[in-house]
Chains A and B, each alone.
Chain A
Amino acid sequence: MLKTYQYPKFPFVRPAELDSPQTRHVPVIVVGAGPVGLSAAIDLAQRNIPVVVLDEDDTVSIGSRGVCYAKRALEILDRYGVGERVVQKGVSWNVGRTFFRDEEVFRFNLVPEPDHHRPGMVNLQQYYLEEYLIDRARELPNIDLRWKSTVIGVTPGEDAVTVRVETPAGAYALSCDWLIAADGARSPIRRMLGLDIEGKIFMDRFLIADVVMKADFPPERWFWFDPPFHPGQSVLLHRQADDVWRIDFQLGWDADPEEEKKPERVIPRIRAMLGDDREFELEWVSVYTFQCRRMKRFNHGRVLFVGDSAHQVSPFGARGANSGIQDVDNLGWKLELVMQGKAPAALLDTYSDERTYAADENIRNSTRSTDFITPKGNVSKTFRNAVLGLARHHPFARGLVNSGRLSVPSFYVDSPLNTADADAFAGRMVPGAPMDDAPVAAAGGGSPWLLPHFGQGFRLMIALDDAAALDAATAEGLAALRRGAIPVEPIVIAREGGAPGGIETLHDVKGRVRERYDLQPGTVYLVRPDQHVAARWRRFDPAAIEAALRRASGQRA
């Protein structure tokens, strides 16, 4: 029981399957109602795909776990209808401060660029995120959330997957077209299917303490290397909602977790860190170790692995839940196209291709952070301390200080879904790039930001000076794209005017879209349903767009 949060309890409802001799068949089962599983269910339900969610527990995440939700994850959560609640309840921060021994070495700002809707990072206890996702899931009639439902067997098949579900009222079988395994790092589904996950364990332990206190510290991330109050180790401080502060103490491998968790050990550590007699209450203590590893492939026939079941990283950089939410963003639209018969099942191979690429990037970055934060061996420690010492005076060394490279989206530059540029472009919105946000004015109402106008389906962004000057041939071409088997909704980005025929028009009020996308009049971007760029051209060419759309949906161009 926490002082600041009451865990909700969700009722177990006796499923009708228990009383039926037949095995019921459903389109999709999601196993695991954590942030990633719930996101998957919401993504698919918003595509009118019915989903059964099975979770072995009957409440949200217990204790102090995920803390930081990054800009890209917030943009995706916006599409799932919970981004605003997370931002409102959470603590937004952009400034990180780094200390070495008793001195501040430098500070960084996460958002060096103005005019983005979402902040670099929001801190929020994981149980709040799950609660909001559950609220959202309950609004969607085609999500069937089943608590106290443990999957105890899984039988993969050519045409269906069957699971055996154990509940307080008995066990039953349920079959589905697609099984999404969001059942966490120890994934029982992965284990039952005998699938490997490879990587390395880090020989270190960290103590997590959640502390309630009224403190006038600003909402910043503070990171200490070798501080006087915890010599030889590192310490991280984050502010969360409800005046709860999260502190991570590095303990070293030889620490005894049970001993370290005792309040008589923890409280003096915190007292030494705060350096004064201010009042605080201990809300939660636990000790964790971690590994960096991933499965070779994330799709195995009709079983799709998302989040921690597929890949795990060290916590430095907040690349766990954030990357899991991006998995789901990548998977949802592809699964929909495959289920509709509009794309071959091979499109799901590109889910694995793109997300293993992202997982490698996340593992690489979080491993580098871990090696810097917890150097193993004298040489590593000497170099680390040399960097920190130089960082006091020299900017180059500040760039090498690695206290966690915070979660950012992958640029899928090698994806087979991309169509390579044939025309010259400046900037970073290359094929495979996650879209940059920018302020806009929507002529027909709607969000004053670019990103909410994209996503869900394919979009074609076409740039003009005056939207009203859209010529008849192009307008007809856009209308044809809209009527295609895989519909592409057009969006005109202009300085002024409204596009004819009711085509959605956005005004580039600050010129940021033009700047970030290197737009010229006539420039066209084809954007995937997950807001990644598929292709771009300097002029509207229906045949080229058709070919790029076929490629981006996994059909040979």
Chain B
Amino acid sequence: MMITLEYNFREPRTRTFYGYEAGDAFYEALIEAHRDLDEEQSALVNARLVLLLANHVGDVDLLREAIRLAREDVVGG
């Protein structure tokens, strides 16, 4: 299985009429999750979120690919 890099956000239980709504709703929830947290707490929330999503994905090859793409550009090539 290949990692999905096309836009894939959706809200199955909400009827939306414009393509950006689901992704924006996710992004808002993501930022909101850090409200009133200090830096250490924020880092912990992010780590927990990665772990939860990683388990949901499950496929370790795919996760390795995601890790590779995440590091790209960040650490000088």
In contact, A396 and B6 (Cβ under 8 angstroms) = yes
Whole-angstrom CA separation of A387 from B70 in the bound complex: 11
B14-33: CB near A (< 8 Å → 1, else 0) gives 01011110011001101100
In contact, A402 and B20 (Cβ under 8 angstroms) = yes
In contact, B15 and A396 (Cβ under 8 angstroms) = no
Within 8 A of A (CB), among B55-77: 69, 72-74
In contact, B27 and A402 (Cβ under 8 angstroms) = yes
Within 8 A of A (CB), among B5-58: 5-9, 15, 17-20, 23-24, 27-28, 30-31, 34, 37, 39, 42, 46
A side interface size, CB within 8 A: 29
Given the interface pairs A378-B39, A380-B31, A399-B19, the reply to whether A405 lies near B24 with Cβ below 8 Å is: yes
- A88 CB to closest chain B CB, in angstroms? 28
Pick the residue among B17, B20, B74 that contacts A428 (CB under 8 A): B17
In contact, B28 and A405 (Cβ under 8 angstroms) = no
* Chain B residues, Cβ within 8 Å of A525: none
In contact, B24 and A395 (Cβ under 8 angstroms) = no
- B15 CB to closest chain A CB, in angstroms? 7
- Chain B: interface residue count, which band? 20 to 34
* Chain B residues, Cβ within 8 Å of A368: 24, 27-28
* Chain A residues, Cβ within 8 Å of B20: 399, 402, 405
Instruction: Identify whether the interface residues of A are mostly helix, strand, loop, or mixed.
Output: helix
A369-403: CB near B (< 8 Å → 1, else 0) gives 00110010111100100010110111110111010
A256-285: CB near B (< 8 Å → 1, else 0) gives 000000000000000000000000000000
Whole-angstrom CA separation of A271 from B35 in the bound complex: 38
Instruction: Identify whether the interface residues of B are mostly helix, strand, loop, or mixed.
Output: loop
Pick the residue among B19, B24, B30, B74 that contacts A365 (CB under 8 A): B24
* Chain B residues, Cβ within 8 Å of A396: 4-9
* Chain A residues, Cβ within 8 Å of B4: 396
In contact, B7 and A399 (Cβ under 8 angstroms) = yes
In contact, A371 and B7 (Cβ under 8 angstroms) = no
Whole-angstrom CA separation of A387 from B74 in the bound complex: 13
* Chain B residues, Cβ within 8 Å of A458: none
* Chain A residues, Cβ within 8 Å of B5: 394-396
In contact, B24 and A402 (Cβ under 8 angstroms) = yes
In contact, A372 and B27 (Cβ under 8 angstroms) = yes
Within 8 A of B (CB), among A421-446: 428, 430, 433
Whole-angstrom CA separation of A379 from B75 in the bound complex: 19
* Chain B residues, Cβ within 8 Å of A394: 5, 69
24 contacts between A and B (CB under 8 A): A365-B24, A368-B24, A368-B27, A368-B28, A372-B27, A375-B31, A379-B37, A379-B42, A383-B30, A383-B31, A387-B27, A389-B73, A390-B69, A394-B69, A396-B4, A396-B6, A396-B9, A399-B9, A400-B23, A402-B20, A402-B24, A402-B27, A413-B15, A433-B17
Using A375-B31, A395-B6 as known contacts, list a sample of 8 further A-B pairs with CB atoms less than 8 Å apart, ordered by residue number in A: A368-B24, A383-B27, A395-B7, A396-B9, A398-B7, A399-B7, A400-B24, A411-B17
Contact surface of A with B, Cβ cutoff 8 Å: 365, 368, 371-372, 375, 377-380, 383, 387, 389-390, 392-396, 398-400, 402, 405, 408, 411, 413, 428, 430, 433
